[in-house]
């Protein structure tokens, strides 16, 4: 049966967190999905472990890998988009564990011609560092809501308010203002046909933290596809780790500015490169 959702997980080497994500996915209330692991060059023993475990889950798993030649997340994500079997894709990072209703939320809030942009809840460091597959199986993430909220109150971590789920539409309309910008690369859903309209991710981004997902949103905006930010649903639990610093930020900024100045929506440096010339 064709999956309704392809969940693409951007991944590199952190096999413990990938296994915890996969264990949590067994608990999803939405069942008709596949997983596509977009692996940016993990080492051989990690690839071997993925091959050992991927058939043990009740959902199909594709493992898309390329050689480790440095940070090439956007390239492997494009390969995963091409490999995906569903008409609707959801993209997360390999350090984000989804709430058990994560995929159901994405399915319910999807809309053709829009991006469904979720948010994340950063875990307190003590909890983040102590997570195990066994604790995930024991549904620990369903029992730490107050601990996470308290961590936000005392400024231990940020954005903990998103742990509070507000699901009824009438409550959302009453208390939440709809934002139409703010795609996070770690939590968004989009129709595959829509992302193909802009040729996927721009593969010239070869460093993290600036532009690699902002550029995708900007190019989608240029053809009228805007992000709808959904707080308090599509919940995911983010690993507590230092923020990435971009050593080549100037290069990323130049690419972002180039696409803006030239009003580029369909990047020739994306999935289909047939329009590129040798000079480019």
Judge whether 235 lies within some domain: yes
pLDDT tens sequence across 78-106: 999 999 999 999 999 999 999 999 999 99
State the residue range of the domain holding 236. Answer: 5-261
Q: State the residue for tokens 């956007």.
A: 74
Minimum mean pLDDT range among 152-166, 197-211, 263-277: 152-166
In the numeric block, which tokens belong to residue 257? 């500015």
Residue 277 lies in a domain: no
Structure tokens at 275: 């329009």
> Is residue 267 assigned to a domain?
no
> Which range among 63-72, 105-114, 152-161 shows the weakest confidence by mean pLDDT?
152-161
Residue 9 lies in a domain: yes
Confidence of residue 249 (pLDDT cuts 50, 70, 90): low
Lowest mean pLDDT segment, chosen from 26-35, 162-171, 239-248 = 239-248
DSSP code string of 126-179: HHHHH--HHHHHTTGGGS-HHHHHHHHHTTSSS-GGGGS----HHHHHHH-PPB
Cα 233 to Cα 45: distance, rounded to the nearest angstrom:
36
Nearest to 11 by CA among 43, 45, 37, 50: 37
pLDDT one-digit tens code per residue, 187-227: 999 999 999 999 999 999 998 878 889 999 999 999 999 99
DSSP 213-270: THHHHHHHHTTT-EEEE-TTSS-EEE---PPP--TTHHHHHHHHHHHHHTT-SS-TTS
Instruction: Please indicate, yes or no, if residue 186 is contained in any of the structural domains.
Output: yes
CATH code (residue 206) = 3.90.550.10
Number of domains in the chain: 1
| Two structure tokens written together for 278 | 């040798």
Confidence of residue 270 (pLDDT cuts 50, 70, 90): very high
Top-confidence residue, 211 or 269: 269
Give the model's pLDDT for residue 171. Answer: 79
pLDDT at residue 245 is higher than 60: no
């Amino acid at each position: 049966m064709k999956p309704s959702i392809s969940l693409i997980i951007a991944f590199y080497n952190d096999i413990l967190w990938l296994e915890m994500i996969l264990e949590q996915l067994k608990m999803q209330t939405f069942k008709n999905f596949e997983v596509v692991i977009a692996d940016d060059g993990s080492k051989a023993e990690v690839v071997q472990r993925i091959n050992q475990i991927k058939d043990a889950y009740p959902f199909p798993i594709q493992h898309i890998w390329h050689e480790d030649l440095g940070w090439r997340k956007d390239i492997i994500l494009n390969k995963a988009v091409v490999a995906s079997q569903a008409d609707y894709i959801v993209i997360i990072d390999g350090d984000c564990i989804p709430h058990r209703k994560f995929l159901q939320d994405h399915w319910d809030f999807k809309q053709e011609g829009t991006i469904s942009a979720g948010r994340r809840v950063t875990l307190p460091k003590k909890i983040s560092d102590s997570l195990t597959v066994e604790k995930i199986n024991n549904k620990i993430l369903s029992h730490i809501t107050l601990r996470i909220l308290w961590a936000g109150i005392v400024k231990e971590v940020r954005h903990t308010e998103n742990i509070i789920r507000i699901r009824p539409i009438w409550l959302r309309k009453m208390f939440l203002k709809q934002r139409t910008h703010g795609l996070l690369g770690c939590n968004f859903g989009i129709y595959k046909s829509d992302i193909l309209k802009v040729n996927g991710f721009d593969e010239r981004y070869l460093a993290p933290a600036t532009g690699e997902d902002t550029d995708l949103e900007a190019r989608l905006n240029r053809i009228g596809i805007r992000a709808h930010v959904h707080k308090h649903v599509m919940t995911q639990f983010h690993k507590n780790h230092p923020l990435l610093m971009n050593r080549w930020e100037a290069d990323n900024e130049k690419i972002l500015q180039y696409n803006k100045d030239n009003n580029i929506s369909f990047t020739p440096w994306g999935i289909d490169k047939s329009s590129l010339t040798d000079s480019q």
